[in-house]
Structure 1
């Protein structure tokens, strides 16, 4: 199944959904995810392995973090080569004074926003979707 590429369809059909969990960004030196951790995303960097994982797991493992995020999943299947969705979403959130870290999965885009402002982010995304229709 191929993903959607049309920007108007992507924005009007994104159906943002907030996960109730709190997520944090941690880094470890190991080349692999330590046992017992279940990150939703990893990024290999020269300085270490970045893990995006539930806050409870980081706390249980004693991993430090400085950013607590809410995860919003855009429920439309976007093509990995679609143009403009990340820019549209980031722009709408920036206009609302919100930072956003985007992780693209094969099927969906996932937005990590400041946990305490996740509802504000959802509202901004809903306004974007309505305005694009």
Structure 2
């Protein structure tokens, strides 16, 4: 059974990071592209928001005994298999994990236009995940 207090605390953390992304993201890409401090603030909080959603998924899978997952992506596939999230949301969250990996590990040169779009519109994928978790485990 999922520990509600831990899940609630993690969800509050994710919401805080998401709020910081929304608060710090400038209205225009031109401002974002040229302001290194804004890039750092937005990307740090976006990475933290994604990671916290991964942590939430891992917590659910562990507490619900859904089996071991070999990767961050697999956490979301397990939740999809159990009907917690949709196929569409799973695909969007897998993309978010890929974006996180590019940012954290420097797999490629980061495209700041992609980063801006992830912060401006992709952030809703994380909010959709949190809403699905609330519907399933906290309501």
Same fold (TM over 0.5): no
TM-score scaled by length of structure 1 = 0.33
Structure (1/2) with the larger strand percentage: 1
